[in-house]
Amino acid sequence: MKKIIFEAAEPYVDILLEKPEPSTNKVPKWYRDQKLFSNKESDYFKAFKKNNNVSLTYKLCVPIIDTLTMGYTLVNSADVLVKNVSEDITKYEPFIRWDTAFSPLDSQSAEMLGNYPIPTGYHSTSFRWTNDWKIITPSGYSLLLMHPSQRHDLPFFTLTAIVDTDKFPNKLHLPFFIKEGFEGIIEAGTPIAQIIPIKRDVWKSEKKSFQEKTHILYNNAMQINFIRAYKNKIWSRKVYR
């Protein structure tokens, strides 16, 4: 089993901050509350007894839950208040404050952002989450840092990066944008980034022609079970502790 290390980068971290947890522990409530079928049933027989035209929901899509649970999740270290301070009611200018002595975030200058394309629906000011954990991965493993998977409900968007944390075990700053028009509190403990250890392998692509026999066998195998065929026959468990 490979080991990822989260080392406190400041004296207060061990006492005050939450260590990054396996993403399995941070699955959002909207996913947990979703039923397997569109008529709000989670049992196949009961669902189709009610309605033969019932649909399966995304809750049965194993690749989605794999993205929600992969790696580890970093969370916001303190309550952050965001309000609009623009004097023009047609414009949005976010002002951010917090009460802790340590800073959960900072901002980047427009010059540093350069011509980076602003995500649609987000304000142009670029902020950075402060991560006070040094993250150390085994030799040959980098770290993929990204916005929490499937979390379009969050009022910000964290940018994606890859860091060779086996060679650079240091504090990481994670750039993000605030959703246009958002006012409210981003509470301490809110997921701000998902981190996934990835092995640095050398890859080569190859083109292959259509394989009819394999295609037919695969499709038939996937129809044997009413539900969860992919999970039962193909899926491999991913483990992060």
42-64: burial string, b at 16+ Cβ within 10 Å, e else: eebeebeeeeeebeeeebbeeee
* Structure token pair of residue 202: 């050398």
Q: 37, 49 in Cβ contact below 8 A?
A: no
Domain boundaries, the chain: 5-28+68-199
pTM summary value: 0.89
d(CA 102, CA 97) in angstroms, rounded, equals: 12
pLDDT digits (tens, 9 = 90+) for 59-115: 989 999 999 999 999 999 999 999 999 999 899 999 999 999 999 999 988 888 889
pLDDT of the residue at 191: 98
d(CA 167, CA 4) in angstroms, rounded, equals: 13
* Structure token pair of residue 64: 């989605």
pLDDT < 70 regions, the chain: none
Q: How far is CA 238 from the centre of its chain?
A: 16
Rg of the chain taking only CA atoms, in angstroms: 22
Q: Which CATH class name applies to 5-28+68-199?
A: mainly beta
Q: 81, 185 in Cβ contact below 8 A?
A: yes
